[in-house]
Structure 1
Amino acid sequence: MNKTILHHVQVMLQDRIVPSATVWISEGKIEKIDTGDHPVLNDGYKLVDGSGHLLVPGMIDVHIHGANGFNMMDGTEGSIQEVSRACALTGCTSFLATSVSSTIEDLLEMIRSVKRVIGHEVGAKIAGIHLEGPYLNPKRKGMQNEKYLRHPELNEMKAIFQEAGSLIKMVTLAPELPGGMDLISFLKEQEVVIAVAHSDATYEEAKEAFAAGASHVTHCFNGMRPIHHRDPGLIVAAFEENHVSLQAIVDNVHLHPAIIRLMHRLKGPEGMVLITDALQAMGMGDGSYVFGGHHVTVIDGIARLKDGTLASSTVTMNEALRLTVDTGISLIDAVRMAATTPANILKLDHIGTIAAGLDADLVLLDEKFQVQWTMIEGRILLAPDDEK
């Protein structure tokens, strides 16, 4: 039987941190949480000492493209598995395999790779697929390769769903493009999260999209019409809609700390999601890479195209958590943004918080937010130091 007692840990609950607790785990589920200094009886349980470190729910990355030198658009099972492994070692226990704009053939091959891996992951679990593109506006393309961008095509999207089925959990598009609103109607019927980005939508166009079913903004402020006092654009439209949540790349590059605090003040932790948007340079360091059909150079951890355009990030989820706290946002809210809110958005009611009856997807962090170990469904995976 797979039974574990985690003792001598600080436990992050939904609304507070318990300074001294013991967590009982059986068959991949959290059985109970004892607070205070109670004697621990390990009858049939493996005893694990948390050394007083902080236990948080496993983080969920709804937007990641690659890691450890591997890009999920490579179209191989090995690439998907390496991202799964890298996620787990950085405190992420579930993720959406995220595409970039490409040919339909390359996208379908990526989907097939995910289908072959799901259920057999070596690390973090695949919670589904996030399609970022190809129905994006060239005017706000960012690092997306313009030669693959196109107007929304309903028949093409239906073919994608025929291959992927219910694995598609999120789609990022530009609603102002011809066919954009029709695509939103179709995606709403599929019950996926409809996200807006790489978009030049006006305030009015964004309002229409949010009324029709869009409910999320991908990497908010990046790849979209900026706020102007006579042209507020989609960002202000999203701020005004209570049902719309926002992604934030917190890496000290994509967003100024004041903007992160503004997003948090307006949306609260229940309306804000921490993401990595990482490319394959995550965990690799500076160097040259090929991503989305572009040559990307990473210097001092910042990925850019030749013209200086930011090209995704190299931040990890545990680093994003630390940097969010550094902006002045409480640790409790930061953890909600990294775990609880993405679980709620994706309707994953079995993960995202530490509570009896939920999956034992947990991460032990030290005072510097370094991952001591990651647990997925009650099984402790290799800690980062064990990989060396």
Structure 2
Amino acid sequence: MSQNINQLAESFCQFVQTTFKTTDFIPLHIPTLNGNEEAYVVDAIRSTFVSTVGQRVVDFEQQMATYLGVKHAVAMVNGTAALHIALLAVGVKPDSEVLTQPLSFVATTNAIHYCNAEPVFIDVDAASMSLCPKALASWLEQNAEIVDGKAINKHTQKPISACVPMHSFGFIGDIEGVIEVCQQYGIPVVEDAAESLGSTKNDQHAGTFASCGAISFNGNKIMTTGGGGMLVTNDDEIAQVARHLSTTAKVPHKWEYVHDVVGFNFRMPNLNAALGVAQLEQVPSFMRAKRELAKSYQAFFADTEITFITELPNTQVNYWLCTVKLADKTQRDAFLTVTNDSGIMTRPAWQLLNTLPAFKHCQAGPLPNATHLADCIVNIPSSVIV
């Protein structure tokens, strides 16, 4: 079996080299900067507004809100900061619990910890790799009760203050189901949409289903501002709180410096926003290119023992990182070895968050799907081909 996987991996390497038209090292994902990036950044430099006060920040927020079809977009220094502020804005308090999934990047749980709250890990759906509504409902039925209109963990007596599903690798699962379960317990939902800009379900964008969402514009995302992130919401109060907290909680005044609570210096600089405006102009073409690449991968892996993971019905995903699933960890590691030794960058899923030293003490429900996926899935080169 491993011999077959090795041969298939070697064929895959040749296919990738042909597809990307190079025999040099092929990374997992690199930014495409072929639009107005240089012109807009130079314009921002010449304006002398290079920090967090500048027209490009305003432009970027307005254009992103229009693209996503939401009322508010608040640009921040990175996606983790956006998620951190989102959690605070929906009311996450110290010594509370936040439900989330173990199959995610560590930033998800770091943001929860920054609020001095504790993550509780719930299993993912095997097909979407996102939080499973059935597993969520089961855990809540066994562990939660409503006291004075609020969800309480009846074992720890701590409030359950939020739920954070994550759209893994850009795929959208049953986000409506997650929200419906949480509504029964009065738990606000914050979407970790860090990887899913451009992905839609029934023509609605990822990050816009719940109370608010957080997006990342890190250098390896479908579009980049270098570093950067954004909180998006239709809720006026959440947007107001987010802007205030991320701008050092400064009370607006012509000259006085009054800060009414502890805030954060999280607003996006104008230089980064200039890059973002240029990148956002190209997102539709990026989407087309990445979906074409996904089609070619799907065709390559058809009728093989490796499964190329595709979007679910009624969704159109960005294929930020194209993903394949092997039978087990042994096959996964064989595939990883052959590809990386051949200069084709591939990587396994993140180590499950509940196994990391900082979070291994946290509560977790049964995690069969997350555990299996972590052992079997591999991300493959997914850059936009120009």
TM-score range, shorter chain: under 0.3
**More relative contact order, 1 or 2 (CA 8 Å, 6+ apart):** 2
User: TM (normalized to structure 2)?
Assistant: 0.27
Structure with greater helix share of residues: 2
Structure index of larger Rg:
2
Structure with greater strand share of residues: 1
User: TM (normalized to structure 1)?
Assistant: 0.27
